[in-house]
């Protein structure tokens, strides 16, 4: 399980210094290569690359940097067009389907299902893992995106608003997760 750190590179370092051992995903709007080097220096294991704010050339270049640094790149898409762009890029291992529109902030989990119905075969052929992102609050939501074909989930609100992370995670999945 990755811990997702959002909003501040320095938080990555704080969390590492506090002794957190699990992998860390730097969830930022990465638009320049220095942010990837900085994320690595601060202790990240993975970075989010948002297709909506990057050109194809940027994504290819940033993927190369991630590979050199030993970082995993989670490439985030929101719609059909972004999915097609990302699937045409070699070396993508992890795609996140965000159910929240960056323009309207409206969340619709059927986005994951729609995109996987259309592109699931191509994704499987390439051996790409899919992460279902946003709007997941309970075991039914998780089951819905899992049945659509995702192998992992990216969750914010439903966990961070609860006092006990262990119980929050157990509540989200409907069972205790052993790690």
Contact indicator for 97, 114 with CB cutoff of 8 Å? no
Task: List the one residue from 134, 142, 150, 172 that touches ligand LARABZUK (CB under 6 A).
Answer: 134
Measured CA to CA, the distance from residue 49 to residue 27 in angstroms comes to: 8
Contact with ligand LARABZUK (CB under 6 A) among 23, 139, 156, 171: 156
CA distance 179 to 173: 14
Residue number with CB closer to ligand LARABZUK (60 or 100)? 100
Of 88 and 177, the one with the shorter C-beta distance to ligand LARABZUK is 177
**Is-contact 29 3, C-beta < 8 A?**
no
Q: Which part of the chain contacts ligand LARABZUK (CB under 6 A), choosing from 31-39, 59-67, 77-85, 152-160?
A: 152-160
Q: Is residue 105 a contact point for ligand LARABZUK (CB under 6 A)?
A: yes
| Closest distance of CB 171 from ligand LARABZUK, Å | 14
Applying CB under 6 A, what is the total number of residues that bind ligand LARABZUK? 12
Please count the other Cβ atoms lying within 10 Å of the Cβ belonging to residue 91: 12
**Rounded to whole angstroms, how far apart are CA atoms 126 and 48?**
20
- Which one-letter DSSP state was computed for residue 177? P
Count CB neighbours of 133 within 10 A. Answer: 30
When the beta carbons of 15 and 60 are compared against ligand LARABZUK, the nearer one is: 15
Longest dimension (CA), the chain: 43
Binding test (CB under 6 A) with ligand LARABZUK, winner from 10, 140, 157, 176 = 157
Q: Site residues (CB under 6 A) for ligand LARABZUK?
A: 6, 100, 105, 133-136, 154-158
């Amino acid at each position: 399980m990755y811990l997702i750190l959002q909003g501040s590179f320095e938080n990555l370092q704080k969390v590492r210094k506090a002794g957190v051992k699990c992998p860390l995903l730097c969830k930022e709007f990465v638009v320049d290569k220095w942010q990837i080097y900085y994320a690595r220096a601060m202790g990240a294991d993975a970075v989010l690359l948002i297709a909506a704010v990057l050109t194809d050339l940027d994504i290819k270049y940033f993927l190369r940097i991630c590979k050199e640094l030993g970082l995993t790149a989670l490439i985030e898409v929101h719609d059909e067009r972004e999915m097609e762009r990302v699937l045409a890029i070699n070396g993508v291992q992890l795609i996140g389907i965000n159910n929240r529109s960056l323009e309207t902030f409206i969340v619709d989990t059927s986005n994951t299902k729609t995109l996987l119905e259309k592109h699931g075969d191509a994704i499987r052929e390439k051996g790409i893992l899919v992460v279902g992102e946003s709007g997941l609050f309970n075991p039914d939501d998780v089951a819905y995106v899992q049945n659509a074909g995702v192998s992992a989930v990216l969750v914010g609100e439903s966990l961070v608003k609860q006092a006990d992370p262990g119980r929050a995670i157990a509540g989200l999945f409907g069972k205790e997760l052993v790690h």
